[in-house]
Amino acid sequence: MFAEAKKYDTAAASGTLEQQADQAKSLQRKFDQMRKFNDSIPLKLLKARESTMAFFRPILQEAGLTEQQWRVIRALNEYEELESKQLAELCCILSPSLTGIINRLESQGHLKRRKSTEDQRRVLISLTDQAKQLFKELSPRLEGRYGDLTNQISKEKLQQLNELLSEIIHLEP
Amino acid sequence: MFAEAKKYDTAAASGTLEQQADQAKSLQRKFDQMRKFNDSIPLKLLKARESTMAFFRPILQEAGLTEQQWRVIRALNEYEELESKQLAELCCILSPSLTGIINRLESQGHLKRRKSTEDQRRVLISLTDQAKQLFKELSPRLEGRYGDLTNQISKEKLQQLNELLSEIIHLEP
DNA sequence: ACCATATACTTAATATGTTAACGAGATATT
DNA sequence: AATATCTCGTTAACATATTAAGTATATGGT
């Protein structure tokens, strides 16, 4: 995830006015030359994701949570208790990253671990009351932002996008 | 970027057959409960991006390049010479990350820095012959994979997806 | 010329992504 | 039961993401 999109829109906003104009022309010329670069699907998916996250990031930042930490909390709020591996799959976070995320959330008092009794290898994770409370506070605000986002697109387009993304997701190299 | 999608598809493939069945039912029940979680646009964009990158990652890995390093090389191959800031904007990489990426690529002999004569603050970056050669070798293979990707989707859908993503990218929170 | 401000890049600190390897616990096979 | 194999979570090592602060250089107004 890269920074908020705005930070990338200021490239030409430097130097004198003449320099700005020169830079703008120069960049425009260059952009024309290499349409392929900017048209790549992976790059556009990256940018699109960043644009959507810009809606939520401020709220999460204010709460002192990262995007990934929120995904974990959100999943646990729905599933009550999950194994580390299930959490990884749901949140699209690799196990090694998840270990650190869980450690930090645990030391912040947001969740608890316990070992499965049947299988000593498995770790079961659940939210603390504190985290459930935090979820109740943040969830409506984030849902509101999600509404702001989706309201800027027609229902049909949103539906289309969802279907197209699903198709992409199921591609096999 | 998270790992190849396949790694997430094995969650239920552990334990005895009975356990597998139980887990599958349990997870299915849970999935039904929380459609919202998996339907979030940002998460789908993340997954979709990962699915597309799975087409290219093996080739890059074989060449000892990361995804970001390749984005930088690709941009420089088209633009000849770029300032660090321009590179950051094009590649969607923040300046602090880019500094490290440039350092590593430079020490691998893939690119060179020079200071602008007019503005001593600016650093101009360009590829070495070695990197240009590497680009020539990798580019066709990666283009081939890109073709494999797009061939699995109809032209219309691809066009639709591009337009929808552009629309998302231009949203303002 | 002088000073306040702005810009380009870097450094620092922390969190996460990514691959490989490790250790403890479970399974299967003999 | 003994051994090899598999699985889960973790650690290690490195690259990148993210925000804040720092450094050198430029620009604008006085």
Rounded Cα distance between A157 and B120, Å, is 48
Average model confidence (pLDDT) for chain B? Answer: 84
> Taking the domains of chain B in order of start, what are their residue ranges?
14-169
Give how far Cα B130 sits from Cα of B65, B109, B127, Å: 14, 7, 8
Radius of gyration of chain A (CA): 21
Cβ of B8 within 8 Å of Cβ of A89? The answer is yes
Paired tokens of A94: 């690799």
Paired tokens of B113: 């820095």
Rounded mean pLDDT, B143-163: 95
Q: Per-residue pLDDT tens for A12-54?
A: 333 343 444 444 444 554 444 444 677 799 999 999 999 999 9
Which of residues 28 through 67 in chain A touch B, CB cutoff 8 A? Answer: 30, 33-34, 37-56
Rounded Cα distance between B10 and A97, Å, is 18
Q: Per-residue pLDDT tens for B54-102?
A: 999 999 999 999 999 999 999 999 999 999 999 999 999 999 999 999 9
Kindly state the DSSP code that residue A8 receives in the 8-state scheme: G
pLDDT surpassing 70 at residue A80: yes
How many residue contacts between A and B have a Cβ separation below 8 Å? 160
Rounded mean pLDDT, B105-119: 97
> With bands split at pLDDT 50, 70 and 90, how would you rate the model's confidence at B39?
confident
Rounded Cα distance between B137 and A15, Å, is 38
Nucleotide nearest to B3 (CA to C1'): C18
Instruction: Name the strands in the sheet holding B81-83, side by side, starting at the edge strand that comes first in the sequence.
Output: B81-83, B123-127, B111-115
Please report, as a single letter, which amino acid is at residue B124. Answer: L
Using the Cβ of A2 and the Cβ atoms of chain B, whether some distance falls under 8 Å is answered with yes
Nearest C-alpha neighbor of A77 from the set A115, A126, A142:
A126
pLDDT number for residue A173: 83
CATH 1.10.460.10 is the classification of domain B14-169: no
Q: The domain at A43-169 falls in which architecture? A: Orthogonal Bundle (1.10)
Q: Per-residue pLDDT tens for A118-143?
A: 999 999 999 999 999 999 999 999 99
pLDDT number for residue B21: 43
Nearest C-alpha neighbor of B81 from the set B151, B143, B128:
B128
Average model confidence (pLDDT) for chain A? Answer: 85
Q: Per-residue pLDDT tens for B1-36?
A: 332 222 333 333 333 334 444 444 444 444 444 446
